[in-house]
Amino acid sequence: MEKGPEMNPWFVSGLVDGEGCFSVSFSFRKKLKVGIETRPSFSISLNRRDLDLLKQIHAFFGCGAIRYSKSDRTYKYESRSISDLTRRIVPHFERYPLVGSKSKDFLIFADVCRKANANQHLNRDVLREIIEMAYEMNPSGKRRHKKKDLLRELDELKV
């Protein structure tokens, strides 16, 4: 997907400061050498009345997808591809930095994306660091797995 129409990049960063989310989730995957899959994700959630704005954001970044979320009845623009996150999303916010509380989450997120892009998340010691870092983000956010359960899984793996 090519980059879309001109949008003010500072507007995009401001919108994300209010309505965006940088997150890193984990899933247990027995087939992986480290036993845990690392999944960074960037999203913006808006009401149906702002669906056209989400479509413009989607075109602006030139990656990701829009989906409907039944749980909170919003539309979400989301990018999960490590390649797209490191080549398109992270560079935008480095050029047009966030100014609110999400700026700390972004710095952690960018570091995790770089490590994942370099396949460092497949190293147990680096994955342990990534888990620690990820649980510093979005402190009030919902998590599928407790940090201690993820770390215990790493400790129990026979390498």
Identify the structural domains of the chain with CATH numbers, from first to last. Answer: 9-156 (3.10.28.10)
Question: What pLDDT band is residue 5 in, cutting at 50, 70 and 90?
Answer: low
Question: What pLDDT band is residue 1 in, cutting at 50, 70 and 90?
Answer: very low
- The pLDDT, as a whole number, for residue 66 is 98
> Tell me: the pLDDT tens digits for 14-44?
999 999 999 999 999 888 888 899 999 999 9
pLDDT at 159 over 60: no
- The pLDDT, as a whole number, for residue 157 is 61
- The pLDDT, as a whole number, for residue 22 is 96
In angstroms, rounded to a whole number, what is the distance separating the alpha carbons of residues 31 and 65? Answer: 27
Residue 27 parent element (H or E)? strand 20-28
Name the nearest CA neighbour of 139 among 89, 107, 101.
Answer: 101
- The pLDDT, as a whole number, for residue 32 is 83
User: pTM here?
Assistant: 0.89
pLDDT at 69 over 80: yes
> Tell me: the pLDDT tens digits for 74-128?
999 999 999 999 999 999 999 999 998 899 999 999 999 999 999 989 888 999 9
Alpha-carbon 119 to chain mean position = 16
Contact predicate 64/77, CB 8 Å: yes
